[in-house]
Every structure is written in structure tokens, then in C-alpha cells.
Amino acid sequence: MSAERPVILVVDDSSDLLALTTKMLADDYQVLTAEDAGTALELAAGTPRPDLILLDVEMPGATGFDVCRVLKSEGNTYDIPVIFLTSKAEGDAQLEGLEIGAVDYVIKPANAGVLKLRIGLHLGLANRQQVLERAVAERTEQLDKTRTELIRRLARVMELHESSAVGNRVMRLSQYAKLISQAAGAKQAICDMMMKAAPLHDIGKLGVPSEILRKRERLSAPDWEQVKRHPKLGADIIGEHDDPLLQLARQLALTHHERWDGSGYPERLRGNAIPWPGRVMAIVDAFESMTTTQFYRDAMPIEKAAAEIVSSSGKKFDPALVEAFKKALSVMTKVRETYSDALGDMINLDFSPARRSTTAAERARAKSNR
């Protein structure tokens, strides 16, 4: 609502009635007037924005009902209270006016005191509604920030469990997931949700013994079976919720190791049977794993990691999303540079020759499959 006097738009095809209504309201309100539907809609969407509209029903061309329907269908005018001020007194007309979104229906000629009272009442209700909506929006934003921070903290716990090192992995995963989603043409809301949910994709590794996760050598069959449990463990940890973000996080945890050709786990899903977010996360996870140095594993050069992903198009990865990855790669490279992990942040790294019997590429590929 306006900080100064509230703005009232009065719409009537009679210039005499417009003048009379303006004189009636001028002491308390800033009054705008329109004699036809087109001018009314233009003023309603303009500046100053009306805080309330008094609208006649019977006008030449478009009726007041037509104008009200347009107002309620537009994002920038739908919340402006509309009071029909009309001589059309039939009950059906009153019912129609209220059904299409008007807050009140006043019969002309209206008593000045009663009309002012009704205007004041609906302006007060609208103002309280705006205050409530702002409070809800602020609370929702606060809760969203808190939830996002909790997701990041949980992801860091998992990171410590897996590698005894905390770097900027959470930030990289988030940005990679958002960038590939954007390059694939996803709606912005989906891209933002992918960014927030991505760090939880490996949360199930909390249920895998850390000594297995930190092995540099080829895993034994029993160890490998332990690792393959982590998608379902992650889904169990996150649980089933009505919240869309947590639903997405659960889906990422459960499906990011499924492979396009059906060779993945835990359900050996194939092609489009793999949920789209899981297919995105498969590429994100592989790229992050191959390009990051953690516990007895060197990072691949970005170019080589990218080539590995491209060569796996149609095998491990959705070909369409590999194309999106290629489009996003230059920005992902900048993200990697911006959120790189300083070597000093890494602990328990051992570069002695006795512990480096496998090549960096072999260790990176083994890691990307875990």
C-alpha cells in the first residue's frame, strides 16, 4: 500500500459520477479515474499503483466483469481489491461479481459514509494481508536458508568420514549440478533445487566403514558390496517427505550410480528409466571425483576428466546430458578454480613411492565408481 495517501482508481463511463465520486473521496485518498476498460487496465498496471479499484459493471464495450477478470488474471494486478460500484442490483450479478474476485458489491447511489467505511475496511484487510504475506515470505526464506545450511553441514560430515579432509567440495558439487541443469534447459526453479540438493547425494557413505572408503587399492568383493549399499542407505537417511527439495535429494542419493546402459547400481536402471536428476548427478559426481585430490588419489587434469565423460556418452551417461556438460564445462572450470582445495587443507595424504603402485587415472576411475 502507498506510503502516502492510498490510491483509489474509480472506473465509470459517466463523467458526472466520476466527478462526484472523486469529490467524495478526495480528502482521504489520491483518486485516479477511467471512463473505459482500456484506460482502467492501463492505470491499474501503472504508477502510482492503485490500492483499491471502484469498478462499474455496465459500461460500453467491455463490462466491469470483463475488466475484473483481466485484473485477476494478471500477476501485477491480481491482488488489488476490487469493489463493484454499480446500479446493477440483481442477485445473479452480485453473485457473479463476488465469484470472479471482487471483495465487495455496492449498489449506486451509495451513501458517502457507507462507501468510505467499506473502502477503509477493505484497505485495512489488504494491508494486513500484505503484512502477513511479507512475514510468511521472510520466514520461508529463513527456513530455506537454514535447510540449505543443514544440507551443507551434513555433506561436510560425509566428506570428513570419507576422506578426513574438508575442502570446497560442497560448493563445487552445488554449482556443477546447477550449471549442467541450466545447460540442459531445465527451468530455473529446478536448477536452484539441484544446486541445493546435490551435496546430499553421497550421504549414504556415512553407513560405509571409513577404512573401506579410504582404500587406494582395488576393493575386495565384500568391500565392494558394502560400498554399493550407499545409495539405498542415503535414501533411507534422507527419508520420504512431502518437501520437494528433500524428495529431490532422496532421488539423487538413490540413483546417481545408475548408468545409461544399465550397468549401474543399485537397481540397474537403464536409459530414461533413470530419473533425470540422477542422470545429471552421475556426471557431476564423476567429474568431481576425477578432478579432486583426496586421500591417496591424485586429481586428473580437467581436460582428461572431461574426455572420460564424453567417451562414456551412451554408456555410463545420458548422451543429451553429456552435450549439456560440454556446454557448461568452461564455466565449471572457473568454478573448479574458484573453489579449489589448497593442498594445506588436505590431511592424511601420502605421496611416498611405496603407496603409489596404481596410476592416478586408475585411482580416479575407481573412485568415480564408488
pLDDT band at 298 (very low <50, low <70, confident <90, very high): confident
How far is residue 39's CA from residue 50's CA, in Å, rounded to a whole number? 13
Please give the share of the chain, as a percent, with pLDDT higher than 90: 64
CA distances from 261 to 241, 291, 369 (A): 30, 24, 15
Whether 344 has a pLDDT exceeding 80, the answer reads no
Task: Say if residue 81 is preceded by a cis peptide, omega within 30 of 0.
Answer: no
How far is residue 233's CA from residue 239's CA, in Å, rounded to a whole number? 10
| Other CB atoms within 10 A of residue 12 CB | 26
Q: Where are the domains of the chain?
A: 7-134, 164-368
Q: Which of 28-32, 248-252, 341-345 has the lowest mean pLDDT?
A: 341-345
CATH number of the domain located at residue range(s) 7-134 in this protein: 3.40.50.2300
Model pTM score: 0.59
pLDDT value at residue 166: 56
pLDDT value at residue 348: 35
CA distances from 334 to 172, 179, 331, 344 (A): 10, 11, 5, 21
Strand partners, 54: 10, 83
Type of residue numbered 210 = S
Q: What is the mean pLDDT of the chain?
A: 86
DSSP string of 289-317, one letter each residue: HHH---SS-PPPPHHHHHHHHHHTBTTTB
Grid cell of 36 as nine digits = 473505459
Q: Burial, 116: exposed, middle or buried (Cβ in 10 Å; 0-12, 13-18, 19+)?
A: middle
How far is residue 165's CA from residue 28's CA, in Å, rounded to a whole number? 66
pLDDT band at 153 (very low <50, low <70, confident <90, very high): confident
CATH class of the domain comprising 164-368? mainly alpha
Whether 2 has a pLDDT exceeding 50, the answer reads no
Grid cell of 311 as nine digits = 567417451
Whether 238 has a pLDDT exceeding 60, the answer reads yes
